[in-house]
Each structure stands twice: as structure tokens, then as C-alpha cells.
Amino acid sequence: MIPVDGNFILSVAPRFSGNLAQAQMRIVGEISAAFAPTLAHYQINTRLRIAHFMGQVTHECAGFRTTEEFATGAAYEGRRDLGNTQRGDGRRYKGRGLIQLTGRANYRSMAARLNLPLEDNPELAGDPLTSLRIACEYWQMRNINPAADHDDLIRATRLVNGGLNGLEDRRNYLQKAKTAIAAIEAIGISQRQGGSTAALRRGSFGDAVGELQELLAAKGVPLAIDRDFGPATELAVMNFQRAAGLVVDGIVGQQTWAALRG
């Protein structure tokens, strides 16, 4: 299983500031640990499949900064083709999910597939972990893995979108995902050969960050161990680098890892 997590997601997604950054970090943080095993469960488990999934999903959810469409959903009112037959269904069953689920009929169908009360509680579809499952389930329903296996961006986009909206955006994210996966695989080879650990910086997530924080704590640095490389961890790294006579950049590369483990 390729160890894709929140750090991988943030290496592909655009970065934001202010409230948008907070929304993105909340969503990515909640799905980080479950990302790789959930994708693996749906056989989205090769470099091409993961890269194409990321290319599509990153565009669909506006860079992981929302799990709910920005519009009110009023435009879907009365859309019988979506199963919206009752007053208020348009707003109630607006688009939610990393790949948006829209309309009462689609909520009902997805509820049966995931064994979740999505029709009775449609807001549940906006929960980050549920949003991830919805996207993966949709990917499986539409049988998109073969398009990814052939590295066919056009076909994958048509299967997700029904057309080619945002094609260049999707292409850009696809390329970034391929590059990020190549880096992850290279790090894995380096580690198996006794090389360095992944370079970490502000915005990184996961077990490697937890290890970093534990090493800093062992050096006497008061620091919360939360697996999130935030401003406090960055400051602690810079202080350690300064004391160790290293380049003070807040980035944990090979020399900083070696000093921490020495």
C-alpha cells in the first residue's frame, strides 16, 4: 500500500490562507489517517489509480477546502430526474462529498451502498470521512480504475464529470500527484536501504511528524505530540537547528534528522 496521507494531499492541493486554510486543514486532518486504507479498500491502490483519483477529487472539492457545494441547492428544486419530489429537496439534497452527491435519489442510492442514513440525515454526506467514502464508492460505481490504468485523463474526467469541465485543472493536479507519489516511493526505497527519513516542513501530517515531535521532546523541547507540523513545531525545529549549528530553515531534512537521532 502506498502510504498516502494528509501530507501527500497537501502536496497536491493548492494552499490557502485565513478561513479557507483552516477549512482545508480540518478536512485533510480528519481524513489523513484513513486515506490510504480507504483507497486500498476500493482497489485505488496503484500509482496511476491514486494519481488519477487525486487529480479528479482535488478539482471536485475545490482543493480540499469544502465537502459541500458553495451554492444553496435551490437550483435543484423540483428536479424529478434527481428524485427531488418534495418541497425543499433542492436545498436539502445539495451537492456534498469530495465528489458531490446531489439529489434525493442519489442520496438514497448511496445510503444503501454505504449503509448510512444519508437520506434522513443528508448533512452526514459532508462529514470528511463520509465524503471520502462517497468519492471512492462513486469511483467504483463508475468503474474509473480502468481509465486510470490506461492513464486516460479524458475518459476519467468524462466518467466523473459527464464532460470535460476543468480539464486543465485536473491535468495539473494529476501531474502533481504523480510527482508526489514518485517522491514517496523514492523515500521508501531510501529508508529500506538505510537512508534518510522523509523531509518534513510546516503543513506536514502523520506518523513521521509524530516521531519528529517525540525526538524534539526527548531533547527537552516542550512540545505537544499531535502529528501535525504547525507553527509551534516549526519554531521548535528552528531552535534545535540553531543550537545544533545547522541551517535554520525549519525544514527537517537529512542533517536535522541525523542530529535529532544522534
3-state SS of 170-187? HHHHHHHHHHHHHHHHHH
> Does position 189 have pLDDT exceeding 70, yes or no?
no
In terms of residues, how long is the chain?
262
- Fold observed for domain 207-261: Muramoyl-pentapeptide Carboxypeptidase; domain 1 (1.10.101)
* Residue 24: predicted pLDDT: 95
Residue 123 confidence (pLDDT) = 97
pLDDT of residue 190: 47
User: To the nearest whole percent, how much of the chain has pLDDT over 70?
Assistant: 95
Residue 192 has pLDDT above 60, yes or no: no
pLDDT digits (tens, 9 = 90+) for 87-131: 999 999 999 999 999 999 999 999 999 999 999 999 999 999 999
Query: pTM for the whole thing?
Result: 0.74
CA distances from 204 to 52, 132, 200, 211, 251 (A): 22, 20, 6, 12, 10
Residue 22's CB is within 10 A of a number of other CB atoms, namely 12
- Answer for the pair 242, 261: CB distance below 8 angstroms, yes or no: no
Dump pLDDT digits (tens) for 127-147: 999 999 999 999 999 999 999
Domain boundary assignment for the chain: 6-192, 207-261
Which band of pLDDT confidence, cut at 50, 70 and 90, is reported for residue 2?
Answer: confident
38 vs 179, higher pLDDT: 38
Q: What pLDDT is stored for residue 195 in this prediction?
A: 46
Q: Which residue has the cell 479557507?
A: 20
Looking at residue 198, its pLDDT comes to 66
Rounded CA-CA distance 260/239 in Å is 12
Q: What is the pLDDT of residues 52-86, one digit of tens each?
A: 999 999 999 999 999 999 999 999 999 999 999 99
Residue type at 102 in one-letter notation? T
Is the predicted pLDDT of residue 183 greater than 90, yes or no? Answer: no
Q: 7-36 pLDDT, tens per residue?
A: 889 999 999 999 999 999 999 999 998 999
Range of weakest confidence among 177-181, 198-202, 254-258: 198-202
d(CA 72, CA 167): 25
- SS3 of the chain: CCCCCHHHHHHHCCCCCHHHHHHHHHHHHHHHHHHHHHHHHCCCCCHHHHHHHHHHHHHHCCCCCCCECCCCCHHHCCCHHHCCCCCCHHHHCCCECCCCECCHHHHHHHHHHHCCCCCCCHHHHHCHHHHHHHHHHHHHHCCCHHHHHCCCHHHHHHHHHCCCCCHHHHHHHHHHHHHHHHHHHHHHHHHHCCCCCCCECCCCECHHHHHHHHHHHHCCCCCCCCCECCHHHHHHHHHHHHHHCCCCCCCECHHHHHHHHC
Q: Could you tell me the pLDDT band of residue 221, with boundaries at 50, 70 and 90?
A: confident
Higher pLDDT, 151 or 206: 151
Let me know: does 55 contact 77? Beta carbons within 8 Å: no
Q: What is the pLDDT of residue 188?
A: 52
Cell 479498500 belongs to 41
* Confidence (pLDDT) at 33: 87
pLDDT the model gives residue 54: 97
Average pLDDT, the chain: 90
CB atoms under 10 Å from CB of 54, counted, come to 28
Q: What is the mean pLDDT of residues 41-61?
A: 96
> What is the assigned CATH class of domain 6-192?
mainly alpha
